[in-house]
Amino acid sequence: MTSLSSAVGADLHGQAVKPAASAAAPNTGAAWGAGFAVVAGAALVGAVVNPKQAALYVLGALMGLVLYHAAFGFTSAWRVFIADRRGAGLRAQMLMLAVAVALFFPVLAAGSLFGQPVQGLVSPVGVSVVFGAFLFGVGMQMGGGCASGTLYTVGGGSTRMLITLAAFVAGSTIGAAHLHWWAAQPSFAPVSLVKLWGPWTALAVNLAAFAAIAGVTIWLERREHGALEAAKASPRRGLARFLRGPWPMVAGGLALALLNFATLALAGRPWGITSAFALWGAKITAALGTADVASWPYFANAGNKAALNSSILNDVTSVMDIGIIVGALLAAALAGRFAPTWRVPVKSAVAAVVGGLLLGYGARLAYGCNIGAYFSGIASGSLHGWVWMVAAFAGNVLGTQLRPLFGLEVERTPRLTAC
């Protein structure tokens, strides 16, 4: 299968892609449309809700642009390391987490930021988290993306990922319906390392762990290949590269850490993605009259109940998720790579459905996804974030082994995609 640098190629979902070369012209119509959607969407959200919510929508759009231009994914980074011990993607994640904890821990210990109360995403550790994160890990490789990867590749024009997203929403809804049973299984109370050890000790331990993981990836990659993979030259420079990409993964990781911190400042809590999927699915289910979702224990929670009974524009996570899709669309159009096609191989479509269901169900059981549980969980000092990472990585190992059964490639080097 050809790579994105080929003159004419296909991505790993079997969809046509445009060459990642400097000669690729921007998709002008799509770029103007996406730009209008960013501005008009912010104006609408600001008028219907408030200016802060509008700012969160724009923040989501910036995240989508960063994710796309840096091809910052979790799924492909883990798969390439599992399959071929190439660790650049994992090292970029460790840098992102290191910057995030350095920003988050002192602020979370203080309890406020710019006068606004803030709190982290700290969840219990138990059977539900381990099993859910493992399912999510398998789903990452079957579905072709994580939570953030699914959103930004949908925005970037991947029609195969629309299937994954639809199944993701369905799985998350089913998970919400079942969560009370899973929550009753054996577990430990939520543990905040920031509260347990204090911010500075917790910071030192976390930074040491990130450095150790990065060191292991370097050692394994050099043992396997003799040297670390050299960074690929970019076809663009300066402002053209900033606007149209591609960005280095390290730059993407740094930008995402800063944008997550901005989310903490605006929303009072870190970035999350998948709670919105459960909300969307519940609203669809209620509209169809197929279940009394309001009676589910999941919606007994005051925050979830309020979200169910109001517009999705009032839900921070929903607004940011929509922003990510629009921002990724803008990035893909600027890069000249927005070229959707509706041809999806049957086996690939089946894998997308199965993977999406596992992603959604697993995210609810594990109290979050690669963003809410892994990135923001670890940035919050939650022990559950570290447990999630281990269990999800194990799921990725199995998922990587299953991919060839569905005609999905297990590539040896990262692509310009998070899938």
Per-residue pLDDT tens digits for 253-262:
999 999 999 9
| Residue with the larger pLDDT of the pair 146 and 418 | 146
Question: 150 with 411: CB under 8 angstroms?
Answer: no
Q: Kind of pairing, strands 116-117 and 187-188?
A: unpaired
Q: What DSSP character marks residue 415? A: -
Tokens (6 digits) for 348: 């690939």
Query: Is 234 part of any domain?
Result: no
d(CA 153, CA 7): 21
Asked, for residue 8, whether it belongs to a domain, the answer is no
- 414 pLDDT exceeds 70? no
The span from the CA of 401 to the CA of 132, in Å, is 19
Residue 90 lies in a domain: yes
Compute the average pLDDT of residues 187-193.
96
Does residue 147 fall inside a structural domain? yes
pLDDT score of 413:
61
Over residues 305-334, the pLDDT tens digits come to 999 999 999 999 999 999 999 999 999 999
Residue 177 has pLDDT above 50, yes or no: yes
Q: What percent of the chain has pLDDT over 90?
A: 76
Burial (CB < 10 A; 0-12, 13-18, 19+), residue 51, is: exposed
**Is a pLDDT exceeding 50 seen at residue 2?**
no
CB-CB neighbours of 82 under 10 Å: 18
Residue 14 falls within a domain, yes or no?
no
Whole-number percent of the chain with pLDDT over 70: 93
Binning pLDDT at 50, 70 and 90, where does residue 418 land? very low
Range 16-29 average pLDDT: 60
Name which of 368, 320, 394 is nearest 125 in CA terms: 368
pLDDT reported for residue 57 = 98
The number of CA neighbours under 13 Å toward the Cβ of 360 is: 28
Cα 262 to its chain centre, rounded Å, is 17
- Spell out the residues 6+ positions from residue 88 whose beta carbon is closer than 8 angstroms to its own: 77, 228, 229, 231, 249, 414
Mean pLDDT of 203-230: 96
Peptide bond into 246 cis (omega under 30): yes
- pLDDT mean over 70-85: 92
Asked if pLDDT for residue 417 goes beyond 60, the answer is no
- 97-142 pLDDT tens trace: 999 999 999 999 999 998 889 999 999 999 999 999 999 999 999 9
* pLDDT tens track for 363-405: 999 999 999 999 999 999 999 999 999 999 999 999 999 999 9
Range of the domain at 194: 27-228+243-406
Residue at 326 is within a domain:
yes
Please provide the DSSP assignment of 103-165 as one string: HHHHHHHHTEETTEE-------EEHHHHHHHHHHHHHHHHHTS-HHHHHHHHHTT-HHHHHHH
Q: Is residue 419 part of a domain?
A: no
pTM confidence score:
0.91
Do residues 279 and 315 touch, judged by C-beta distance below 8 A? yes
Residue pair 41/326 in contact by the 8 Å Cβ criterion: yes
User: Is the model more confident about 10 or about 150?
Assistant: 150
- Phi/psi for 81 (5° steps) reads -70, -45
Domain count, the chain: 1
Confidence of residue 6 (pLDDT cuts 50, 70, 90): very low
Instruction: Establish if 11 belongs to a structural domain.
Output: no
Distance CA 168, CA 150 (A): 9
